[in-house]
A and B are shown apart, each in its own frame.
Chain A
Amino acid sequence: MSAPPKTAVILCTCSGIISERINWTEVQALLAGHPSKPQFLVDELACGVDNLDHLTEWLIREKPARVVVAACSPREHETTFRQLLRAAGINPWYLQLVNVREQVAWVTEDPAAATAKAARLLHAALNRVQRHEPLSERSVPVRTDVAVIGSGPAGMQAALTLARAGRQVTLIEKEPVIGGLPVRFEELFPNLECGPCLLEPVMGELLHGHASANVNLLTLAEVTGVTGSFGNWTLSVRRKPRYINPDLCIGCMICAEVCPGRRPNRWNGSGEIAAVAVPFAGTLPNLPHIDAAACLRLNGEECGVCLAECPVEGSLYFADQERDCTIQAGAIIIASGAVEKRELPAAFAGSADVHTAYTFERLLAMNGPSGGELVKADGTVPKSLAIVQCAGSLDSSEADYCSGVCCRAAAKYAHLAAGKAEGISVTRLIREQSFPGVDAGRQFHQDHSTVVRYGAFADLSVTGSDAGREIAISGGAPVPADMIVLCRPVIPGDGTAACAALLELDRDEAGFIAPLHSLSGSCEAALKGIYLAGSCRGPGDIRDAFATGTAAAGLALSDLVVGRDLVIDPQVAVVDAATCAGCKTCVQLCPYKAISWNATDKVAEISDMLCRGCGVCVAACPSGAITGRGFSREMLRAELEGVLS
């Protein structure tokens, strides 16, 4: 057996704190027989700036191949001592640090026992460090541009924050318009600010502001595939045809006025709009779009009414085609939002003047189906309004959780309804209620509606009709309900589900995208380079959307810095392809999707960019084909033999 590499051992006294319990002279005597023939140096305070200089000189002079430092916790000074080795021209991963302060000197009263334990742990470290391999950090160039999926408040805020910082942003929106949900709401809780007025400047800056040149907006676009990893993502995007040339159209909307085609207005949840139209007045970008299913001309009929009236030839572009394009980005921000559960339970389905929160918002909006008038389907003003909160939330049969926004929305509805229909009686039916925050507290105190508590949503039923209609509550007085608003559970939309599926992201029990950490990492996914903004993370309001949009952009900015390569920690897991049996056990286990299956060679492969070095796969590999760098089998066994010898 060849002689073990020359090993230097630095014994820190920590200004006497360690040496008060541990006798370093005795430890040296106990370890003198170790085959590595360690060379010792006792230092008063190894982490001190001057001491580090002296230690560097000593190491340069002695030229050891391995270094063991007995000092404080690696959680405190491992980086310091790795730097020491680097300064002395020794590979930093030839270091083993022994925690004799926190885990020996401070917890062992008897100096003899402390000295014996320190010697035992040092013996193990001397064994272990012989097995260390030189490692080096790998640098890879990263893209600094970002793809943002979803152009609601969260996505817009993320895109703008990045664009202002000079980053190139691709903003991908599946709708023909931007702004998400609140741009369709007249007033926003808790302070009854005008939604479009708040969002108009944001949308304007995005489309026409100083930083807008940095934003590539793709409307009617959906992500169909994602490959790559942190720093180098490739997104496949499918763009549906708008049938409008955005470079020519001036947005006069004459086409929409003359179009004979009709389609249901899904943005209002009721009524119809023309085949060529905007969903509602004031949309941005200020361009109509054509619904191919409703357009007579696109269905082979002899219609050209819009073409005849359009003042700019070529604006209407019937030859438009579905197109696939590829987007490159260093990071992806998912801001795909949430929706309300639209299906209604049998007790309410099919009845007139039963709204969900969303359709009621549209009813209240100036650009909604009634021009902002609070009217029933028959055009009359309702005598009473029953707002059912927790209508499916906090309910194990629908959504187990609180949807978080309904209480404040309901108090807003009560206030606005009272202003729009004089003398209307408003009842809020609640199971629980919460108005967190100072301004929402004001909203709570100013609410004049009658509040009725009910037990279970399934126990509510509707009796009577028109002005005599009531909601019956088991065990309570009936509530007048000429018009009904159901605050249905906030659930992840199709877009959020699709993003999670494409990127194989974990979802929580409700289907929202699971964050890296529920408290300290709520704006990033477990998959590195994927950030989360807005209510794809769970039910949230517009304030959360703006805040988390800023946060996600900030994370992307700090992780992807222009001119700074990505430095990859070498302490990752690596697969030995020759030993890998191809069982795929590890592929399923990795919490970071860092392990992929190479179908050609039938082996597992680990991306060092995604691996975080936990070693779960190392422990699970039945063939022993995976090595956890820095914590290899050989290292741990050498350490184990050392402490047990």
Chain B
Amino acid sequence: MSCQTLPSEQGAATTCGAATAGSLKVVAFLCNWCSYAGADKAGSNQLPVPPELSVIRVMCSGRVEPPLILEAFRSGADGVMVLACHPGDCHYKEGNLRAFCRAELLQQLVPQLGIDPARFRFDYVSAAEAEKFSRITHEFVEQVRLIKI
């Protein structure tokens, strides 16, 4: 069977052997400078991160447009996280605030699309907050798991 993914509107996506069938799918968009660095630090500190979590690195949380998050849900994500620099710490001055505003709107929008808003989470993780990254990713994955059951 081909490994190529078909657009979801054409039917259920075919999967290649790389995917773990039936497991939880959680996507996290991480900004390069704070939250991705925090995730790296979790690695350096050997702190556990849920294997269900797939990180997509962007330079700034402000790069993540709401349609991308909606597409993630449409393509089968059980949960989507956007993690940003703390307010005032954005490497690009204020991209995290743009991301925050978009997240606020999304929280209101997703229930209208039949998506439980608890499946979306926006939060701040600094480059030093390895423990927080480990903790909130576990919390979120467990929360999403409960919703899926």
- Taking Cβ atoms with an 8 Å cutoff, the residues of A that contact B are 29-35, 73-75, 99, 101-103, 105-110, 113-114, 116-117, 119-124, 127, 526, 571, 589, 591, 612-616, 618-620, 628, 631, 633, 636-637, 639-645
Contacts and interface: CB of A to CB of B under 8 A. Distances in A.
Q: How large is the interface on B (under 10, 10 to 19, 20 to 34, 35 or more residues)?
A: 35 or more
A347 to B, nearest CB: 38
A633 B58 CA distance: 11
Contacts of A644: 5, 13, 25, 27, 54, 72, 75-77
Given A102-B40, A645-B18, A109 B60 contact: no
Contacts of B71: 637, 640
A121 B76 CA distance: 16
A102 B63 contact: no
Interface string B111-147: 0000000000000000000000010000000000000
Q: Which of B49, B54, B68 has the most CB of A within 10 A?
A: B54
Contacts, number: 163
Closest 6 CB pairs between A and B? Answer: A102-B43, A615-B63, A643-B54, A614-B92, A619-B65, A113-B51
20 contacts: A31-B3, A31-B16, A35-B4, A105-B43, A107-B49, A109-B48, A116-B18, A117-B54, A119-B17, A122-B18, A613-B59, A614-B60, A615-B62, A619-B65, A619-B68, A619-B102, A628-B63, A631-B63, A644-B76, A645-B14
A360 B145 CA distance: 71
Contacts of A127: 5
A641 B36 CA distance: 20
B47 interface: yes
Contacts of B93: 526, 591
A642 B4 CA distance: 9
A65 to B, nearest CB: 18
Given A102-B44, A106-B44, A637-B68, A29 B32 contact: no
B149 interface: no
A636 B16 contact: no
B37 interface: yes
Interface string B58-95: 11101111001001100111000000000000011111
A375 B69 CA distance: 73
A641 B75 contact: yes
B14 to A, nearest CB: 8
A525 to B, nearest CB: 11
Given A102-B39, A644-B25, A107 B47 contact: yes
A107 B43 contact: yes
A537 B142 CA distance: 47
A645 B92 contact: no
A57 B43 CA distance: 32
B46 A30 contact: no
Nearest to B93: A591
Given A526-B93, A615-B63, A644-B76, A103 B68 contact: no
For A30, A106, A114, A119, which residue has the most chain B Cβ atoms within 10 angstroms?
A106
A560 B128 CA distance: 33
Give the interface SS of chain A, mostly helix, strand, loop or mixed: helix
Given A33-B16, A636-B56, 7 more contacts: A32-B17, A34-B18, A73-B43, A106-B43, A108-B51, A117-B51, A591-B94
Contacts of B43: 73, 101-103, 105-107
Given A591-B94, A614-B62, A619-B63, A640 B15 contact: no
Nearest to A31: B18
Contact of A75 (B13, B36, B51, B55): B36
Nearest to B39: A103
B72 A640 contact: yes
Contacts of A32: 17
Contacts of A74: 57
A75 B37 contact: yes
Nearest to B63: A615
B27 A640 contact: yes
A591 B92 contact: yes
A107 B46 contact: yes
B61 to A, nearest CB: 9
Contact of A616 (B54, B55, B63): B63
Interface in B15-36: 15-20, 25, 27, 32, 36
B2 interface: yes
Contacts of A110: 51
Given A641-B75, A644-B25, A645-B5, A636 B40 contact: no
A116 B98 contact: no
Contacts of A589: 98
Given A99-B40, A637-B68, A120 B20 contact: yes
B16 to A, nearest CB: 5
Contacts of A119: 17-18
B40 A75 contact: yes
Contacts of B42: 102, 107
A642 B13 CA distance: 11
A544 B124 CA distance: 34
Contacts of B2: 33, 35
A33 B60 contact: no
Contacts of B51: 108, 110, 113-114, 116-117
B40 A73 contact: yes
A172 to B, nearest CB: 28
A73 B68 CA distance: 24
A612 B92 contact: yes
A108 B49 contact: yes
Contacts of B102: 619
A589 B95 CA distance: 9
Contacts of A571: 59
A122 B39 CA distance: 18
B51 to A, nearest CB: 4
A591 B63 CA distance: 13
